[in-house]
Amino acid sequence: METESAPKVVKSDAEWRAELTPAEYQVLRRAGTERPFAGEYTDTKTEGVYACRACGAELFRSDAKFESHCGWPSFFTPLAGDAVIERVDTSMGMRRVEVVCATCHSHLGHVFEGEGYATPTDLRYCINSISMRLVPTQD
């Protein structure tokens, strides 16, 4: 994954608030979490690319999405190694790894390792639906 660097898309807090809905702002800019099983992409099977809802950067492909039954869309790998940044998150009294968009540093979710899913990476990128937009593949 990409090392921490300055975001390529920089906006003021007021600009983010103006562009995002209150729910999008809470997740993307304040590292919130949407309720489990409530997101629009939790069970989606549509082929395409998942892009950052804040800046449009491509993050994940549908062929890396898998059923984890955790309540949020799960992917076993990002689109490219530099699409996301992983950083240690010690909030909530535990150690987790936060996943943010490498382009605008918006919060996407968390990545977990070693849970035993039958995926090529043994990783689960647990991503909030509200932090992405699905761009369907054109036939």
Among candidate residues 52, 101, 104, 126, the one labeled active-site is 126
CB 53 within 8 A of CB 135: no
The CA distance from 101 to 136, in Å, is 20
Going by C-beta distance under 8 Å and a sequence separation of 6 or more, which residues neighbour residue 31? 89, 91, 98, 107
Active-site residue 104, yes or no?
no
Phi/psi-derived region of residue 61, left when phi > 0, alpha when psi is between -120 and 50, beta in every other case: beta
Active site residues per annotation: 126
